[in-house]
Structure 1
Amino acid sequence: MAEPGARSIWLIADDYGFSPGVSETIRTLLAAGHLSGTGCMTLFDDWSSEARALAAIGGPFAVGMHLTLTDFPALSTGRTMPNLKRLLASHDAKTIGIEADAQLDRFREAFGQDPEFIDGHQHVHFLPAVRGWLARRFADRSMSERPWLRGSPTLRAVPALVKAKVVVARLLARGFDAEMRRHGFVVEGPLCGFYDWRRPGAFARALDLFMDKAPDGAVVMCHPGTVDDVLRQRDVFTDARHEERDALASDAFPLRLQSASLDLKRAAS
């Protein structure tokens, strides 16, 4: 139990389903109670088996959908989706809605229910077309029946070298929190977790910053994993996942949370 006045945060691992090594690592951390939950990428061929393995763990953690609209073959068409720059330029709301429907339906098929939360790979859930899709898709649900949404980034708890990146993400998310609350969604946040993953050892330093400075209620994203051939084929963000895995799996991690008077959220507030 957190002490009176302690902060609580969501610590959410992105990219469940990205590769076998990423998924296994996330399951291990969830089973240990070192994460609040994970966001799932449902578009890859081995999704069904990875979903079954995640469901088998049980426990008090949130399972959400990590909506993916860039770079990979779309569930809805099989064609490779655009990179983020092209996606931002196109704003093809119909195509985005069809693909989002397909990924959500695949999540529901695996778990028999909606995701507890929805966020986006490369923050695509902030896009106007996705905002519209969310409002339409869940229009018939009460607030308590809807997934919560990951909110806009904050400049608090941001390492100096990535502040420019966070400013860009904040521009993409402009108006998101207020707009989606008007549509009846719970928006959790603000979003933290940005760091320069290209620099060896950067995650450990950033994790200290997140734990000391993240606002109460923040959603801290992380990307732990074990690098395998599948991940190397799909992403350039590889070796830093080992650093995240080792830091979050360590016996020192719960003690560091305690010293920061920080508690991990387990269910939506």
Structure 2
Amino acid sequence: MTSAARKKTLRIADDFGLGRGHDRIILELIEGGRLDGTSVMINDAIRHDDIVRLRALQDAGAKVGLHLNLTQAFGEGAPVWSLASLMRPTLGPQLLHDIEASLIRQSNKFVSLFGKLPDFYDGHQHCHCFPAIAPLVLRLPRAPRTWVRVPLPATWAARWRNLRAGGAKGLIIMAMAARARAIFVRADLQTNKDFSGFLRLGDPGDVRMWLPRLLSEAEPDCLMMFHPGDATDPMQCAGHAPESRAAETEFLTGSTIYD
């Protein structure tokens, strides 16, 4: 992505695949030009028709990535782990083996569904940037065009703005992201050069207040992360208020702040 920079804010949704209501909304937002793409949480419940729609959007230019998932259970037997256990600086060899096997399985399933490698990799709860997991991302298959999302704003002003919007946890994520970026760059993996979208997703009021500002103040070529969805979908993420997803949907549907 760095070598073929886009001169606009790149609006990417996380969590396609989480639930059918969320999937419907993300597809509609991409089809309506409100989003530039999404990353997919691989699981067996995604509707075939929705995959077909997303593949058509990808063929038309939408960015479709793999949302590497190690913590969200889907009830199909795939292993998941606690966030605290994954964030440790070092992990045991068996755990690393199991995590790598899960990442590879997700990558292979993505190819089987979309007929091609992901345009990019990112991670649910930014797991792909965790100290012990970032090196495993290097082992995933990639094409020359493949890039990896790094959740690190490019300037100190943007970092401070995102910390105000997203809270102190953003500082930990940014620190891990800076280290992960060095690992990715040394391995000749492309990354986004700017980022925005840290929000207190458990607080819909904060989302409504900060999301317009983050988008309006994002620099050209910034990757902006979104989490739109359906508040009534039975599948939700811990720490994400359903009303926050609805607030992002409302903003993206009605916003006039577009490049």
TM range (shorter): 0.7 to 0.9
Secondary structure class of the residue paired with 1:72: coil
**Pairing 1:95–2:95 present:** no
Q: Which stretches in structure 1 are left out of the alignment for 5+ residues?
A: 1-5, 258-262, 264-269
Give, in whole Å, the separation in 2 of the partners of 1:107 and 1:21. Answer: 20
Q: Which residue number in structure 2 is paired with residue 260 of structure 1?
A: none
2:50: which partner in 1?
A: 50
Q: Which amino acid aligns with 2:39?
A: G
Please name the residue that 2:114 is paired with.
111
Equivalents in 1 of 2:187, 2:47: separation in Å? Answer: 30
Distance in 1 separating the partners of 2:107 and 2:197: 25
Q: Which moved more, 1:191-200 or 1:28-37?
A: 191-200
In 1: Cα distance, 2:15 partner to 2:165 partner: 24
The separation in 2 between residues aligned to 1:214 and 1:221, in whole angstroms, is 11
Displacement, 1:20? Answer: 0.4
- Unpaired runs of at least 5, structure 2: 1-5, 154-158
2:222 maps to which residue?
218
Structure 1 length normalisation: TM-score? 0.81
Matched, 1:82 2:86: no
% identical aligned pairs? 26
Choose 59-68 or 193-202, whichever is displaced more.
193-202
**Cα distance in structure 1, aligned partners of 2:133 and 2:202:** 29
Q: Which residue of 1 aligns with 2:251?
A: 247
TM-score normalised to the size of structure 2?
Answer: 0.83
Counting matched residue pairs gives 243
Deviation at 1:219, TM superposition (A): 1.5
Q: Cα RMSD (Å) of the superposition?
A: 2.4
Q: CA deviation at 1:236?
A: 4.8
Structure-2 separation of matches of 1:235 and 1:21? 17
Q: Is the 8 A contact 1:25 1:224 kept in 2?
A: yes
Asked if the contact 2:165–2:200 (Cα under 8 Å) also holds between the matched residues in 1, the reply is: yes
Query: SS of 2:221's equivalent?
Result: coil
Paired AA for residue 216 in structure 1 = P
Comparing 12-21 with 125-134, greater Cα deviation is found at 125-134
Rounded to whole Å, the distance in 1 between the matches of 2:72 and 2:130 is 16
Is the contact made by 1:29 and 1:249 (CA closer than 8 Å) also made in structure 2?
Answer: yes
Aligned to 2:177: 173
Contact kept? 1:19, 1:228, Cα under 8 Å: no
SS of 2:247's equivalent?
A: helix
Q: How does 1:250-261 map to 2 (within 5 A)?
A: 250=254, 253=255, 255-257=256-258
